């Protein structure tokens, strides 16, 4: 790019903004192009994709994976592809929560990453696990330590989910962990009340 020496500062700034938006759009375009190739022609097209783009196989797979995690209507124009990649591994409600926070707080990708990691650390501490997620624990010891898990599915309206997300965020937790904590607290309260009633009987 060759810019004229007399380019006004405002024009220079606008060019930077346009380049940023173009770069972000091109990441999504490439990711969607790959998704189309996967769905239409199968994995064998990755060889052609590598040749066409000059990108390595894993990079292309990562692009397509992020695109699969975010359908078009869930992508936030005010945030970069990299922002979305930071939260792609989370559940959709958690993705939406963190992206909304990033948009509202005008976080950079690195600020979003730090906030998500801090949130996950709180989550792990709440669960009594090491900050790294407990990967360093032997599988047998982890199996003995962890109780049997039962999956509970709760249907919520969009408004209910929004309300619970805000309440959970105030405690630095994702929605599922916060609801689990509420249920545990309610269980202990019920048990304490039952014990007190038995003693007084």
Query: Does any domain span residue 85?
Result: no
- Pair 103, 183 in one domain: yes
Does pLDDT of 7 surpass 50?
yes
Whether the predicted pLDDT of 168 surpasses 80:
no
Instruction: Provide the pLDDT for residue 145.
Output: 44
pLDDT (mean) for 46-70: 83
pLDDT (0 to 100) of residue 197: 55
Residue-averaged pLDDT of the chain: 76
* pLDDT for the residue 141: 40
**pLDDT per position as a tens digit, 86-122:** 999 999 999 999 999 999 999 999 999 999 888 877 7
Asked if the model's pLDDT at residue 129 lies above 70, the reply is no
- DSSP assignment of the chain, as one string? ----TT--HHHHHHHHHHHHHHHHHHHHHHHHHHHHHHHHH-GGGHHHHHHHH---HHHHHHHHHHHHHS-GGG--TTS-HHHHHHHTTS-HHHHHHHHHHHHHHT--HHHHHHHHHHHHHHHHHHTT--TT-STTS-HHHHHHHSPP---------HHHHHHHHHHHHHTT--HHHHHHHHHHHHHHHHHHHHHHHHHH-
Check: CB of residue 165 under 8 Å from CB of residue 179.
no
Identify the residue with better confidence: 84 or 188: 84
Asked, for residue 65, whether it belongs to a domain, the answer is yes
Distance separating alpha carbons of residues 61 and 133, to the nearest angstrom = 25
Please state, in angstroms and rounded to a whole number, the distance separating the CA atoms of residues 10 and 23. 20
Domain that holds residue 172: 91-201
pLDDT at residue 135 tops 90: no
Task: Say yes or no: 17 and 97 in one domain.
Answer: no
The more confidently predicted of residues 33 and 147 is 33
Residue 75: inside a domain? no
Q: Are residues 129 and 164 in the same domain?
A: yes
**Domain check: are 60 and 109 in the same one?**
no
Where among 35, 69, 103 does a domain terminate?
69
Specify if 116 maps to a domain: yes
Residue 140 pLDDT grade (very low, low, confident, very high; cuts 50, 70, 90): very low
Q: Determine the pLDDT at residue 1.
A: 79
Cα–Cα distances in Å, from 171 out to 12, 14, 119, 200? Answer: 43, 40, 10, 36
* Beta carbons of 29 and 48 less than 8 angstroms apart: no
Contact 130, 62 (CB under 8 A): no
133 with 187, same domain: the answer is: yes
What is the C-alpha separation between 62 and 126, in angstroms, rounded? Answer: 31
């Amino acid at each position: 790019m060759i810019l004229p020496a007399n380019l006004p500062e405002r024009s220079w700034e606008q060019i930077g903004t346009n380049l940023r938006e173009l770069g972000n759009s091109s990441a999504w375009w490439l990711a969607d192009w790959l998704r189309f190739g996967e769905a239409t022609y199968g994995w064998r097209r990755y060889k052609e994709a590598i040749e066409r783009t000059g990108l390595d196989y894993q990079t292309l797979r990562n692009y397509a994976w992020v695109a699969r995690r975010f359908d078009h209507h869930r992508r936030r124009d005010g945030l970069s592809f990299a922002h979305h990649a930071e939260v792609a591994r989370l559940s959709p409600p958690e993705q939406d929560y963190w992206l909304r926070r990033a948009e509202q707080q005008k976080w950079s990708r690195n600020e979003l990453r730090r906030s998500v990691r801090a949130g996950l650390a709180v989550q792990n501490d709440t669960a009594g696990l090491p900050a790294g997620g407990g990967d360093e624990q032997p599988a047998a010891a982890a199996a003995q330590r962890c109780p049997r898990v039962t999956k509970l599915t709760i249907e919520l309206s969009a408004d209910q989910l929004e309300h619970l997300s805000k309440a959970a965020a105030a405690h630095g937790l994702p929605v599922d962990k916060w609801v689990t904590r509420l249920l545990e607290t309610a269980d202990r309260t019920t048990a304490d009340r039952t014990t007190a009633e038995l003693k007084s009987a």
